[in-house]
Structures are given as structure tokens and as C-alpha cells.
Structure 1
Amino acid sequence: GASVNWSSSDKIWVKDDAGTWQQSGAAVFPFTNNSSFAKFGLSGTYTGASHDILYTNKAITGSQPQVEIKATQTQSAPNNFDHAGESGDCGIATASRVGSGYNFTLNHKASYLCFIPRSSNPYVNRSKLIKIEIMCDDDIAGTYNMAADGTLTLASGGSKTITVTTGSGFAIDNSTEDMSKNATYAVVAPGTHTFRIRYWLRNTTDYINLYGWRPSDIEGTISKYVTINCTAGSIHDVTANLDLHDYDGDHYCMWDAQQQYWADHSNTQPKLNGQNSNDYPQDRNDASHRWYHVSSGPLQASQLCAAMPNVNEMTWYAAKGDPRWDKDELWTTMGHLYKGGMWFKKKSVLQVAGNYNANIAADGSDWRTNAKSMYRSPLNMLPSVADASDYFYLPAVGQYSDGKLIGVGSNGAYWSSSALPYDQAYVISFGDNLVAIGYNNRFCGFAIGVFE
């Protein structure tokens, strides 16, 4: 959908009779309605049958032409690629004499992405696309040398991330592709690249913060992964169906109860931070069987927590699972929009490295019969693009404490399948600066989740 046109500020460089690059004046358009055709005036002497031409956003001050593919690019309106030239579009041509002048057709040598997102998710539909962050494990922006044939070679300032900002934001209320709504373009270095595409959304409707009230907005990401052979001179469409993972409110419980925390009481379940209800389970005679599994000694779960890792396994996730806090990925629960969660390496990845054992904890002892604890500091950065599939994500869904919902979006607390005497059980908890494994009262309303 992009129109490849000259802009009124465009200039070209032409090699004169002496072999010196000369910059032209700005483009002039002989035909009012056709900006794909422009004329350029130059000083200097040109008598050859042909002359070399370059189009670049960097001045040519010596014999080595360069172009800067910008790490930060800005687009003013949907489906508008006017920023191509300033963002790093470049090309070569050979001008051939025709009468008293020369004609040429530019051969573009950068590569280009066109993002065309869509969504049927109401939270996304009520948001604006404010930027797209393109992340890669190899350099996709920087200053590049341009060879005679237009091949680009990184010279300096390499960047593995390109961010395209969209000002006040583009609508994303289309369930099918609609380039007029939000088509967004980026100039990138040619090559085969695996990208993490982070679509940044701003939502002013659905976010409730940790204190139970709605601030002005929430900004966060929906991430997609794609591998593209970015050929020089080509625009590559990147379509994406933007959806949000929804975590229901049915996966909180007292430790290894028969039923979840709000079974038979969903109509009074608190669904926002700070809300509370007296309908939570309050003794072992709870009619809905929501009370924790009672025992006097160490116990392996057999009910709701049976599928959770035991405490030894939990220690490997914390100690060797390379936990990484992600403050930006968006998700929903109980009718509201949140962000925040932790990435851990998957069990299969830990096993390959010899870092997983159900019978022995990461410190070499068996925690199932000992009251112990562990604390780790997570990294506040995402896994590399190449390693992303080695990790799984746990959202910070908070917890219930005596019927009150707290911590959604700031911390997570997930039961293990291991209990200690005196009505204690092991739990893994985390936030932006801590991953902890310890024990807590079995009557706490922590989450159960999927540990991959």
C-alpha cells in the first residue's frame, strides 16, 4: 500500500566528471499529480554518457558513501511512508544521457517492513497503537557503508532495536486488516532476521491500578515473533492478530483445597485490588470444600495443588531458571487490564542443563522435610529473541488475604505441591526485584498455575 514517491526535501548525489560526489538541489516536480517523478538541478560538469547516482540521508564527505538507518523513526499518519528518506531509505542508480540532461530510476538498497495489525479483542480495540518496537539479536540499524552495487555493511553505531513512534497513536479497532487504520512502516537493514515485534498500546479505559482506582492510562505491549528475509528494495508485510491472554479468577485457592477460593461464591468475589468479601472460606467445615488440606506432618498435595511442582523443583526454577521480570507485557483478568510478570526457563531446558531434580533442591538438600527459604534477584530485561522459546511466563496475579484481593500487577504467589507441619506450605512468590521460595500459612489464597 505504500506509495514510493519523492518528497520536496529530497536531494541526490551525483558523481561529476572529476569523480567527485556533488549534491543536487531539492526535488522539483514537473507534474503536479505525480511525485514519483522528480527533476534535480546540479552544479559541476557532467559530460559523460552516464554518471553514478546515490540517494542517502548522510552527506558524502569522502570516497565512502554512507547511510544511517535510524534506530528511532517517526510516522505521522497511518499508511504514510513519508519518513522513509530520513529513516534510512537509500539507493543507487546510473543516470544515462538523454538530450541535455540525464534520466535514472532509483534502485532502493535498504529493506522495509509494513506492520498491519488487527484485533477482535475489546481491550485492544479500545487502545491506541503508540509505537512499534522491533527487536533482533543482530544489528538492524546504524551507520552503513554503501558499496558501489549498493550493498550495505555496518560501519558504526549498530543497534539491535528500531522503534517507530506514531505520535498520538493509531486506531486498532479493526478486526480485519485495514491499512488506512494503522499500517506502520520501518526501514531496516537487509538480511534474514528473527524479530520480536512489540506492539505498544495505550489504553485509557480498562486499567485499575494497585490501589483500586483508575489512573489516566496504561501503556504496555503485545509481543509477536517472526523471521523474515528482508531483501533490499522490498517492502515486507507483517500482519498480526493482537490478542491478550486472559487469566480467569478461578485459579486461587487455599493450599490443596478441594475447591477454588470462591467456589459457589463467584457473585461476591472481589475482582479489583483492595476489594474484599466475607464470603471467603473461614474454617474446615466450609460447605463448598474450600478449606486447605489439613495434616499434621509433611504432605504431598493430592487435590488442587497436586499438579504443581514440589518445592525441590521450585528451587530449580528460582536458582537456575534465569528469572526475568517483564514490566510491560499486557494481560487481563476478571474484566480489567494489567501488566507485569516473570519469565522462567522451562523444565525441559533446565533438564538438558542438568539443573532439575524433583528429589533434591538446588542447594543439594531435600526441602520437603525441612523448613528452608531462598531469595533471588531477577533480571529486569527480556530473554534474547533467539532464546525466547526457552522460557514460559507467569503473570503477577496477586493473592487473596482474608477475602481481600491484593497485588494484582505487582506480584505473584503460586503454591507448590509440598506442605510442612503446623499447617504451612511452600510457595514461590515474585515481584519486580525479588523471587522468593518460602513457606506460608495454608489458608492463604494463592494462585495455581502452569509451570512448563
Structure 2
Amino acid sequence: MKMKIKLSYQWAVTALLLAAAGCSSDDITTEKTAKPAAEGNETAQTGFVAGTEGTRTSLDYDTRDFFWEEGDRIYVQDDGNVFQHSSNAVTGTRQAAFKFLMPGTYAHNSYFVYYPGKNGTGNNVTIASAQTQNGPDNTLHFGISGDCGTGTATRQPNGQYKFQLNHAAAYLCFKPTYSHPLASTYVTKIEVTANKNIAGAYTLGTDGRLTGTGSSQTITLTPKTAGSSDGFAMQNNAAGTSCEAGRMFMVIMPGKYKLTIKYYVRDKETGVSGVITKTFGEFQYDANGYYDMPAALSIRYYDDKYYTWDAKKEYWFGHKNDQPKKTGVPGSNYPTSADGDRWYNTSKDPNATANTAKTCPNANELMWYCLKGDPHWDNKTLWTVWGHLYTGGMWFKKASVIASENGKSSADKLKEKAPSGTDHVHNQPFITPPDNKNITQKAPDNRSNYFFLPAMGRYEEGKLIEFGSYGRYWTSTPYKWGKDVSYSLYFNSRDVVVSNIIEKKNGLRLWKTE
């Protein structure tokens, strides 16, 4: 038997600022058939049948079909004005139809039906401030999280009553994505905070709406998978170019809110965890509305290229499979003097930089960054390389900001002389370069005036060292007083140094004036 079901729903896809949402209503034809289930003594009770028409209490996101689920009950006020709950509850999962058996007396042509969720009674509903989803794309937690609804049951010729449930809560859908692959990262929690209460105790009215003030502005959704406490994995696509987690759903009180959403992530292999925060402007979240929340995770991505000073090719060019990705692990086939492309530029002429280091800041600019760049050590900002999460890095003021604050007409003026007035590119006096131990231990408040460098360490004779704790970056200026040495930036959580002792054969990172 083919049945036609009319689904009443809103499906809204929100833009980043949540400026608009769309509503629709479709007729969906399904081949599914279901015979209303019966339990108990039907002769002493009245059947209230939730047929295949309309919404129920769990969702197939892709088909937009709804189902009754294990343990669902309804409530009706009988002719004695007493709230009765069905003597039977739904058994099994994904029930498209179900006959609820109601004790009490029912002589009128219609009655108002309440579904207060699994934690509610009568017309009293609790939208949970702590919700748990077992498995990606799973909505079986709706009923216990605060899903609720009402409907008008109408007497049928056989004496039973038939109704369609209209949902009274609103629903948020999250599908975190990242534009690069990740190897062992999990979403462990999603936390939504509004500027008004979105959870707590509410009342279902005869108009089908929830009323009440609630008690919590924050709802936490915890994703779980069977046999694991890791959360939902960020799964790579087939091409290995990006990743995403399975959909996660949250029940909230309908209303107009400003939302802050925090995604908690953890890399199981590195042990690094962090929080990615997104904020959304005021928007109306309607009852029975399902809202796809933009969930592209903003995590800084870095490649794994290191270079000997001003080499033509990267340190591991042609030997990427030999590149160690953990500290202390020796690597083979690292650059030697026999490798013309990967070996460093031996010249000490400050004008001889011709290859990969020529776009790096020069020694004068480096001293401005060191002494006037207001360095901030940040051990919370997440970044990735090799498909893993890491933290640790330094923020510096941008060259344009430094120039403006120090009376320079443009950032290019920083190239000409250091803060002392000396040209360390061409003159290079034999002095100990400056270092700055005045390091702020947090990210700057106004990040738009700063740029970030990750602490990615260096390669020394093929071995990765200092990764996660120290930053090492070349300049375009060779140091004339040392044997095969170049100026470089060196930093850790306590110090920023203009270094003139690192040999050119080391594998350091490149950077550009910002």
C-alpha cells in the first residue's frame, strides 16, 4: 500500500551572519507501510492513533521523515479534566505509526494531545541544558533532550481518535568541516550560549507554543560513539583534501537570539585540545524549524617545508618520505654540500640573496619586530601540520602598525635601518644583537594588528628539534662575521632573539614581511 504523508517543517540554512532563513512544505510519497501497534486491554481504553501523517519524534535528515521512538508517550486531558498518559509506550525504533491507549473517558469529538518529551509530564516540558547524541547523524536523543509537540485528535467513525503532532521546539544542526585533512582529531563537545535562556522548564500551551522563562542560556551537546569516549571523528574525504564530522543535533527553545557556538576538539595522538568559537547575530529560531549552522572550523594550516638558507629547493625536496615528523627522530637523505638545489647559498654579500630567502624580512626589519613588535606568546591558538593539531607560537605587530607607531611613512622604511638607526644589512657592526624578554603570555586582544608564527622548530642534520616550543625563521641577510651563518628569528615563550649564530645548513622556516 502506498501512503502519502504530508510533512510540516521548516528547513533553514543560515548564512554566517544569519541574515535570512527559508521555509518550505512538501508532499513526500513513501513506500513504507505501518500497522498501528496495540498493547493492553483495548476494550477498556481509547485509541489515539498517530498515523503516518505528520511529524514525530526522531528525524531522518536526508529524507526529512520523522518517526516515533522507544519510550514515547502522549498525554491528554480526559472528560474529567484529568491529565492522563498513555498506558502504553512506543516499542522499538523508527515507528512511522503508533496507537496510544488512553485511560479515562472521552466523549467529545476532539481532544488536545500533548507530547512533552521523555522527561516531561502533562504539558510540562524540560529542554535539557546537557544533551548527548549517540552516533553521528542520530536524532534518537531528541525525546530526552526536550523535543515536544501538540496536536488535535479527532474522532474517527470507529471511535478512535487520530492526530498529527506539531513540534514546538527548535533544532540546530552542526556538521563541522575543515578544509584540510586531519588524522586523529575528534569533536568532543559543542557548547551553544545565547543572550537569553534557551533551556529549562517550559509549558506547552493549547496554541501549541512553549511558554516560560527557562533557566539556562547555555546548552552543551556531547557526541558519543559506542565503546569510545573520544567524540565524533573528523573523517577525511576520499581525496584526502578535507574532513568533516557526522551531523550533530541540538534541541533549543524557539526564540530570537544571538548565539555563540564553541566547538571543542582534541587530537588523540598529540593530546592537543582546543576551542573554536563562532558568533552569530540576532536571528529568529522558530518552532519546528531545523537550522543548519555554518560550522567550518577556522584552524590555521601550515605546510611542512623547511629550507637551508636561501636554497633553491626545500630541505626534504625529493625525499618527503624520509622527513621526520616527530622530534628526536633521525632522518636520512637530508641536504649535504653535494646537493646543489637543497644546499645553502654560501655567499656573505648582503645583496647576493637570490633564491628562497629573498622574500624574507631583512636584519633591520627583524630588529623592529623583536624590539617594537610587542610579542605575545600564545599556547591556545590551534594550528595544523601533517594532519595533527598543535599549539604554541608568537604574535607580532604588523610592519605597517610598527611603522605608524614609530613615525615612519611606510612599512618599507623599516628595511632601511634598525630602531637604533644602524643599518645591520650593509654595515653590520660587530655587536651582540638585541633580544626581548618582555613577552605577553596570551594572544593579543586586537589580533587584526598582529600576525602569528607557529613554533615549528628546525631540522638539524635531518633531525626535527624544538618543535612546538621554539620558532626559527630565516632572514634575507647573511651574517658577514660568522662562518656560513645568517641572521634569523628565534623565539620561545620567554624570549625573542635576533640570532646571528645559526648555521645556514640548518632547516628553518621561511616567512614574509607582514
Count matched residues. Answer: 409
Q: Deviations over 1:209-237 (max 9, x none)?
A: 7xxxxxxxx67689797969654313345
**Distance in 1, Cα, partners of 2:238 & 2:373:** 40
**Distance in 2, Cα, partners of 1:371 & 1:56:** 66
Which region of structure 1 is more displaced relative to structure 2, 244-253 or 104-113? 244-253
Work out the percentage of aligned pairs sharing the same amino acid: 19
* Structure 1 position 262 matched with structure 2 position 315: yes
Q: Given the two structures, how large is their TM-score scaled by the length of structure 2?
A: 0.57
Which residue of 2 is the match for residue 404 of structure 1? 463
Q: Given the two structures, how large is their TM-score scaled by the length of structure 1?
A: 0.63
Q: Deviations over 1:313-358 (max 9, x none)?
A: 53599637x65434755431xxx74533548588499689969975
Which residue of 2 is the match for residue 331 of structure 1? 385
**Distance in 2, Cα, partners of 1:107 & 1:348:** 59
Partner AA of 2:155 in structure 1: V
Which residue of 2 is the match for residue 187 of structure 1? 250
Q: Is the 8 A contact 1:374 1:436 kept in 2?
A: yes
Which residue of 2 is the match for residue 233 of structure 1? 288
CA drift of 1:252 comes to 3.0
**Distance in 1, Cα, partners of 2:261 & 2:394:** 15
Given the alignment, which residue of 173, 180, 190 partners 1:134?
190
**Distance in 2, Cα, partners of 1:353 & 1:157:** 46
Q: Is the 8 A contact 1:7 1:27 kept in 2?
A: no
**Distance in 2, Cα, partners of 1:289 & 1:31:** 68
User: CA 1:29 to 1:393, structure 2 compared with 1: closer, same or farther past 3 Å?
Assistant: same
CA drift of 1:162 comes to 3.5
Given the alignment, which residue of 54, 64, 67 partners 1:5?
67
CA drift of 1:399 comes to 0.9
Given the alignment, which residue of 38, 61, 67 partners 2:126?
67
1:156 match: secondary structure: coil
Structure 2 regions of 5+ residues with no counterpart?
1-59, 425-432
**Distance in 2, Cα, partners of 1:152 & 1:225:** 28
CA drift of 1:83 comes to 1.1
CA drift of 1:290 comes to 0.5
Q: Is the 8 A contact 2:374 2:397 kept in 1?
A: no
CA drift of 1:406 comes to 1.5
**Distance in 1, Cα, partners of 2:203 & 2:406:** 47
Structure having the higher Rg: 2
2:144 match: secondary structure: helix
Given the alignment, which residue of 278, 294, 301 partners 2:348?
294
1:4 match: secondary structure: strand
User: CA 1:249 to 1:56, structure 2 compared with 1: closer, same or farther past 3 Å?
Assistant: closer
**Distance in 2, Cα, partners of 1:268 & 1:194:** 45
Structure 1 regions of 5+ residues with no counterpart?
210-217
* Structure 1 position 250 matched with structure 2 position 305: yes
Which residue of 1 is the match for residue 16 of structure 2? none
Q: CA RMSD in A?
A: 5.7
**Distance in 1, Cα, partners of 2:450 & 2:81:** 55
Q: Deviations over 1:34-82 (max 9, x none)?
A: 4444526367999796447352455569x9x45234444222x443311
1:86 match: secondary structure: helix
Partner AA of 1:250 in structure 2: K
Which residue of 2 is the match for residue 314 of structure 1? 369
User: CA 1:25 to 1:161, structure 2 compared with 1: closer, same or farther past 3 Å?
Assistant: same
Q: Is the 8 A contact 1:9 1:26 kept in 2?
A: no
Q: Is the 8 A contact 1:344 1:391 kept in 2?
A: yes
Matches within 5 A, 1:406-445: 406-409=465-468, 411-415=470-474, 422-423=481-482, 425-430=487-492, 434=493, 436-440=495-499, 441-443=501-503, 444-445=506-507
**Distance in 1, Cα, partners of 2:406 & 2:128:** 42
1:85 match: secondary structure: helix
1:311 match: secondary structure: helix
Which residue of 2 is the match for residue 98 of structure 1? 155
**Distance in 1, Cα, partners of 2:502 & 2:475:** 11
Q: Is the 8 A contact 2:187 2:234 kept in 1?
A: no
